Structure 1
Amino acid sequence: MNTNRQDAVTVLGLGLMGEALAHAFLRAGHPTTVWNRSPGRADRLVAEGARLAGSAAEAVAASPLVVVCLTGYDAVHDLLAPLEKTLDGRVLVNLTSGTSGAARETAAWAESRGAGYLDGAIMAVPQSIGTDDGLILYSGPRPVFDRYEPVLLGLGAKATYLGTDPGLSSLYDVASLSLSWSVLNGFLQGVALLGTAGVDAATFAAFAKEGLGAVVGWLDGYARQIDDGAYPALDATIDTQRAAMAHIVHESEALGVSAELPRFVKALADRAAAAGHGGSGYAAMIEQFRTPPQETV
């Protein structure tokens, strides 16, 4: 076993991401034990020098640091629940995607069984793991992160600690996904509109990247307004924006393109205006995202 090495690590779960994590640890020189329900997935890792454990319990016992990357938190609990005694004294780094609530519950569960716990969010594709682009977010007790940061840096140069709340990494993850999908959905709406005039997606992509650069430049100013709770209309009011939104809805309908997305965006702006923010800057829309709409009976 590898327990005599404090830089030894175990990886549980060898999907595309789990395999990439294990490869990165091996390349960084850490004794690495791996386990997967389907042992055949470990063949390439074993060829590189990984040790294949015969069971999950054996894998956990092999290293002081145990990294888990499974399909969800339920799978994590199903795997680790029978191993409570083995977890005592080890550090569990859970890189499984999920919710902040599940992260906090898992942290409490692990800590009550004597294990240190960090929750993490992988903000990278498998090919970026172990490179300078390998951004992974961590949250949980600071002493635990500080102790194993040198090992975790093997997964990428950007090991970012967020704070003691173990749910923070999951919250950052879903917030980033929300941003990504919003940008991509807006791009797809634009592609659909321009496609009716014979403009291909590649042509619009070059134009869209220029426009997104301008939007990125607005974010710091919007953030200051939101943090200050004041929304001056420095460029255009929400009422002015609502008129432009109506144009997108009408254009989509006229061209036979789905108007669902622009209708939804305009409905949010209409709610903001009804709440008294028609003359405010667009950052005032945050109030609509903070509070779900009132249900009508």
Structure 2
Amino acid sequence: MNDKAETPVTVIGLGLMGQALARAFLKAGHPTTVWNRTTSKADELVAEGARLAPTIGDALKAGSLTIICVTDYRAMHELLGASDIDLDGRTLINLTSGDSAQAREAARWAEQRGARYLDGAIMAIPSAIGTTEAMILHSGPQPDFETHKPTLDALGTVTYLGGDHGLASLYDVAGLAMMWSILNAWLQGTALLRTAGIDAATYAPFARRIATGVAEWLPGYAEQIDSGSFPAEVSALETDARAMAHLIEESEAVGVNAELPRLIKAMADRAIAAGHGSEQYPVLIEEFSRPRND
């Protein structure tokens, strides 16, 4: 596979993301075979140079590498689990969304059928595929990843996470937790400022600066978590809890929903009650790491 432009690729599943993946391979010069239950979804790709396989078995035979991007893991098993589908010797890269347990089970299932298997997650929207902005995560055997990395580079910035097939799914949901938390915090602040006539566009640059500044704390806070030591170098958790109370009071005073700050303060209060009030904010990892027993 020294000449990546000649590596044949198959894409199974032609939703918006699957079409974007196939189009990126075509643009990079890879002979690309596609298959989808609804064949009309392949029309534009065929016009651009893709080959539509008549059957899924034919699609699997056409490429050195098969990319799977379907609705869920159940759909993947249904499509590839038929008795007449031969996976022996095939390399599968599953970019279907799911959880880490499903990814590990899929790896065992594929390997039992003689296939090489990498699991993956796409941290991008379809329009970003094929650009460096698209982050594509992969987990599974490193030799298989290294073999196909020159081909996968057509999709964006590809990243190898480790041999555990479930890592890509775990990173995926961890990334979603970051995304939603940042957006929710911004929405909380936006709701507060709107009560004083400040619009979202005016607040957004300030919020972005705060988010960027907080992101700079993460490496140092990560060291505290990994060492299990939380000295209050910036502020103590009990100080943060008083600020949380102020946010709750201000929200309620101006008629803004306070559910989110109340949730976070409840976690801080539990940590303080457990004796961690004099430690720094990352000590809350203990609260995040245990299930809540209601």
CA distance in 1 between counterparts of 2:83 and 2:133 reads 34
Aligned to 1:51: 51
What SS does structure 1 have at the residue aligned with 2:37?
A: coil
Large movers: runs of 4+ above 2 Å: none
Aligned to 2:92: 92
Aligned to 1:108: 108
Deviation at 1:16, TM superposition (A): 0.9
Deviation at 1:114, TM superposition (A): 0.2
Aligned to 1:253: 252
**What aligned pairs does 1:268-279 form with structure 2 within 5 A after superposition?**
268-279=267-278
Give yes or no for contact 2:9–2:66 (8 Å, CA) kept in 1.
yes
**What aligned pairs does 1:1-297 form with structure 2 within 5 A after superposition?**
7-82=7-82, 85-156=85-156, 158-295=157-294
Q: Which moved more, 1:120-129 or 1:83-92?
A: 83-92
Deviation at 1:83, TM superposition (A): 5.5
Instruction: State the TM-score, normalized to the length of structure 1.
Output: 0.95
- In the superposition, relative to structure 1, how do residues 87 and 186 fare at CA in structure 2: closer, same or farther (>3 Å)? same
- Structure 2 residue runs of 5 or longer lacking an equivalent are none
CA distance in 2 between counterparts of 1:53 and 1:268 reads 54
- In the superposition, relative to structure 1, how do residues 70 and 85 fare at CA in structure 2: closer, same or farther (>3 Å)? closer
CA distance in 2 between counterparts of 1:84 and 1:139 reads 28
Q: Tell me the number of residue pairs that the alignment of Structure 1 and Structure 2 aligns.
A: 290
- In the superposition, relative to structure 1, how do residues 9 and 279 fare at CA in structure 2: closer, same or farther (>3 Å)? same
- Structure 1 residue runs of 5 or longer lacking an equivalent are none
Deviation at 1:84, TM superposition (A): 6.5
Cα deviation digits, residues 58-77 of structure 1 (max 9, x gap): 21122221100112111111
Deviation at 1:134, TM superposition (A): 2.3
CA distance in 1 between counterparts of 2:84 and 2:163 reads 23
Give yes or no for contact 1:139–1:167 (8 Å, CA) kept in 2.
yes
Deviation at 1:258, TM superposition (A): 0.9
- In the superposition, relative to structure 1, how do residues 6 and 113 fare at CA in structure 2: closer, same or farther (>3 Å)? farther
Give yes or no for contact 2:60–2:66 (8 Å, CA) kept in 1.
yes
Q: Percent same amino acid among aligned pairs?
A: 58
Deviation at 1:254, TM superposition (A): 1.5
Instruction: State the TM-score, normalized to the length of structure 2.
Output: 0.96
